[in-house]
Amino acid sequence: MFTCPPCSSKTLPKEYRAVAQQLFPQNGFPAGNGPELETASAFAALLGVGAEYRKLFDAQTSELALKKSLVCFQNNLDLLIQKTWVEKADEERKGKLLDEVPSLVAAIEYHDYPRALEEFAAILEGLAYLFFGTQSQKDDFAEYVLRIDEQLGLFWWYGGQLKAACGASWVQQAQPRSLQALLFLGICYLTNF
């Protein structure tokens, strides 16, 4: 399991901290609340997918546009997983990860965002392992990836925070739009990876 230290730590470069603290506050969100769309949009811009994020969020008002976006996301994620070189011992892990993607897409289509966030966090954990091996399970994983590439590191930091957020009670009580805001960040990033 990859976990990341809170965003107030020195892990994140200071230019990212203000937005990150709003996206995942250390004390969590009050019941029924989650991140605002503007905060998520600002974080998407830091990830380099700001315009794509806005487009996806606008598309979700049309089921057909959302389905098209999800097809692109699923195709790209499947390709990322399939093309990742792994040791023979990890081939089964890779196959299992591929099998989890359709369930995630179905949860999004059914607007079951708490379940979708949980499944997405698990997929990100598996994807991190495929990309980085056992390094993804270390406490300094986000810091390690930030040294390689800041946007990539910021994305994996988001993944760790998302995993931690899934166990929080606010997720079950949050407005669907807030959960969409969190979920669509990762979907946008991986669609455009």
pLDDT in the model for residue 65: 82
pLDDT in the model for residue 84: 86
Average pLDDT over residues 141-154: 92
pLDDT in the model for residue 1: 34
**Which has more confidence, 136 or 58?**
136
Q: What is the mean pLDDT of the chain?
A: 85
pLDDT one-digit tens code per residue, 8-66: 345 788 888 888 888 887 766 666 566 778 889 999 999 999 999 988 877 666 788 88
Distance of CA 88 to CAs 83, 85, 91, 95, Å?
A: 14, 9, 5, 12
**Contact call for residues 111 and 147 (beta carbons, < 8 A):** no
Find the angle CA(109)-CA(112)-CA(115) to the nearest 5 degrees. 115
Domain ranges of the chain: 28-191
pLDDT in the model for residue 168: 72
pLDDT one-digit tens code per residue, 157-185: 999 988 888 877 777 777 888 889 899 99
pLDDT in the model for residue 87: 83
pLDDT one-digit tens code per residue, 25-40: 776 666 656 677 888 9
**Which has more confidence, 120 or 91?**
120
Q: At what angle do helices 150-166 and 37-47 cross, to 10 degrees?
A: 140
pLDDT in the model for residue 28: 66
Instruction: Say what the pTM is.
Output: 0.88
Residues 6+ apart with CB under 8 A from 115: 107
pLDDT in the model for residue 32: 59
